[in-house]
Amino acid sequence: MKTIIFFFILIFASFHLLAENGHKLWLRYKNTGTVNVVCQMNSATLTIAKEELQNGWRGKDGASFALTVKQDKEIKGDGFKISKNGIQANTELGILYGVYEILRRQYTGEAIDEEICNPSYERRILDHWDNLNGTIERGYAGLSIFWRSGKDSLVVTKKDRELWKEYARADASIGINGAVLDNVNASPLILTTGCLNRVKAIAEVLRPYGIKTYLAINFASPSVIGGLKTSDPFDPEVKKWWKDKAKEIYSMIPDFGGFLVKANSEGQPGPQNFGRTHDDGANMIADALKPFGGIVMWRAFVYSPNDKDRARQAYNEFMLLDGKFRDNVIIQVKNGPVDFQPREPFNPLFGAMKKTSVMPELQVTQEYLGQAIHLVFLATMWKEFLQSDTYQEGKGSTVARCTDGSIYPQKYTAIAGVANIGLDTNWCGHPFAQANWYAFGRLAWNNNLTSEKIADEWLKLTFKPTASEDKEMLTALSVEWNLNFLKPVKQMMLNSREAAVNYMMPLGLHHIFAANDHYGPGPWWGPKGVRRDWTPPYYHQADTNGIGFDRTRTGSNALSQYHEPLASLFNDVKTCPEVYLLWFHHLPWDYKMKSERTLWDALCYHYEAGLQKVREFQKVWDKVERYVDPERFALVQSKLRQQCVNAQLWKDACLLYFQQFSRKPIPYDIERPVHDLKDIIKNDMERLRRRD
């Protein structure tokens, strides 16, 4: 009998796996019964909620399910209360979020008991670094879903609206409620009438799903497109220009969220161009938005070529201004003090700014983690960051609690993720890159979720067989799928970020990428005429004496920006966590690690471990072929091969380059490099010449 069931399982599985290309993301809902949805109110949002339930219901056939908008003090914002018989929320959007929660639990098999689910952050925003010509800065999944080039670039088509609706549905299903539609390196043209009309059209599609639109703006817009002689925030005409522009935008988009600003950073204009400070610029724009309920997200990503340690500058500039910003200004801070590196300690601004609202900025697009080629699940990285203890208000003052309103009474709480979405059929380039979009939304809603739970949900929603006429057959298939697919692939996801750190930049090394593309290794790159803090040698500081950036009290003293006991912990090489060792210390090659290995040997073993782990991922994926549709299986398999090739290159390039300084042999039980360093460097230089 078991043989017969297994035979039918294979037949069913083969049939099920025919037509998947990843476009449906984790929303592969298909009902297995009917539901009577009871709701006394009507609106566009509630209509979506009803349709989602009816199209995806997998509960008791013929059940009645109530959707009730009713005030409850225990429910916060757009939170909701679920039970087996219905959903209660204070808002219509809360009902929609509750519907997605019910469907998620039905599909993943999680119990549905009476429970209140409140969001950790009020504003959960995706930042799209999309340019008005349709390209995407640090985009690895095709062109923009919002913008395109050509003479008809601003014409809104039926196809546009359909795609935006699919995008909005995906966002809403994981609780995302905001989207910045253009690049932080913003074009002033975004505020012209033609572009604003397109933004209005996008907002109309996103609105029923509860997603506010935001725009990244160029601080010099008044002089570039407004005809003014200056963009000085103290100039009365400039102030009036921004107030008039805000009034124009809100007349078109009443629920417009506000502006994201990158100012005085990497060549972008800002208030410092006019002898003013960040608060001067932010407050001027905040005043223009205030009457309409808009906010300003002012980025703290600033660094000067003259600063002796780039990691110090954001703290140095912004701590002096704590308490000087309007209450509708939020300082948007990258998770680490440098730039979205594979591993960084948390930015010391978190928790330190006590009088100003602060929001984390995470990077969903894998600029520094293999882009759309490497399989790297970022939930583990973000959890490491969110759970980091700042000690600002004593033990337990985690980054999460310092930013979600648990410790400091912020008027607004928010979190942003730099999106990894493009026009590729599967939206993200790599099927597993979808998991990072999903993970960002889930953590933005509930920063206490574990990486394991998020991975488990995503795999079940994205890959698990969804329908069968024979419940016994589906149950048997599910048991086998959980054991032979879910368990090994989930573990692969959970191990993937640490593997990437190992084969790229272990033990606190950072920013040693090849020039500009941030993909392959380039620890040697440092041509004359280029800012030192844009070159890898600035960060690894390798010489015959050792390796690492000295940020101790006798070095740049960057660790003094952390609250005690962290400052002392990081300063003492014996207590500094080894994952940050070379971030804070320059150490000799023969320094003894806790493992009793020398620093040089430890580096070698980390690079080897990372490479071997990716080879293991290849084996894991090959073994699950029969559980995955052919298109997605082949794509992931191809990506893993490319990842393995690149991991080998990282290992060989870094060990052979650093060996020139250490003058020590690579441990003999480690596989030998397969590349020559001179060939790696030559190929890298030729690639740069071709690109230029």
Identified catalytic residue from 61, 244, 266, 679: 266
Whether residue 482 is contained in a domain is answered as no
* pLDDT tens-digit readout, 485-497: 999 999 999 999 9
Could you count the other beta carbons within 10 Å of the beta carbon of residue 553?
Answer: 14
Quote the crossing angle between the two packed helices 630-662 and 487-504, to the nearest 10°: 30
Could you count the other beta carbons within 10 Å of the beta carbon of residue 91?
Answer: 17
Concerning whether 266 is annotated as a catalytic residue, the answer is yes
Please give the model's pTM, rounded to 2 decimal places: 0.96
On whether both 133 and 252 belong to a single domain, the answer is: yes
> In 329-345, which positions are buried (b, 16+ CB within 10 angstroms) versus exposed (e)?
bbbbbbbbbbbbbbbbb
Q: How confident is the model at residue 471 (pLDDT cuts 50, 70, 90)?
A: low
Nearest CA among 365, 378, 466 for reference residue 422: 365
On whether both 130 and 83 belong to a single domain, the answer is: no
Q: How confident is the model at residue 73 (pLDDT cuts 50, 70, 90)?
A: very high
Quote the crossing angle between the two packed helices 487-504 and 451-463, to the nearest 10°: 120
Nearest CA among 245, 409, 397 for reference residue 327: 409
Identified catalytic residue from 367, 384, 550, 608: 367
CATH number at residue 374: 3.20.20.80
- Read off the pLDDT of each residue in 626-637 and give the average, rounded to a whole number: 97
Beta bridge partners of 329: 296
State which residues form the domain around 112: 31-118
* DSSP category for residue 548: S
Whether residue 577 is contained in a domain is answered as no
Residue 290: φ, ψ to 5°: -55, -45
Identified catalytic residue from 101, 232, 339, 550: 339
143-147: long-range pairs with CB below 8 Å, 24+ = 143/422, 143/423, 144/422, 144/423, 145/421, 145/422, 145/423, 146/181, 146/182, 146/198, 146/202, 147/181, 147/182, 147/198
On whether both 40 and 67 belong to a single domain, the answer is: yes
Domain boundary among 410, 435, 463: 463
Say whether pLDDT at 1 is over 50. Answer: no
Determine the Cα–Cα distance for residues 428 and 457; give it in Å rounded to an integer.
18
pLDDT of residue 14: 47
On whether both 38 and 184 belong to a single domain, the answer is: no
Say whether pLDDT at 433 is over 70. Answer: yes
Determine the Cα–Cα distance for residues 519 and 604; give it in Å rounded to an integer.
20
Domain boundary among 463, 480, 511: 463
* pLDDT tens-digit readout, 105-140: 999 999 999 999 999 999 999 999 999 999 999 999
Say whether pLDDT at 252 is over 90. Answer: yes
On whether both 128 and 49 belong to a single domain, the answer is: no
Quote the crossing angle between the two packed helices 434-445 and 451-463, to the nearest 10°: 130
Concerning whether 608 is annotated as a catalytic residue, the answer is no
Token output for 691: 């690109």
Whether residue 629 is contained in a domain is answered as yes
Say whether pLDDT at 316 is over 90. Answer: yes
Say whether pLDDT at 585 is over 60. Answer: yes
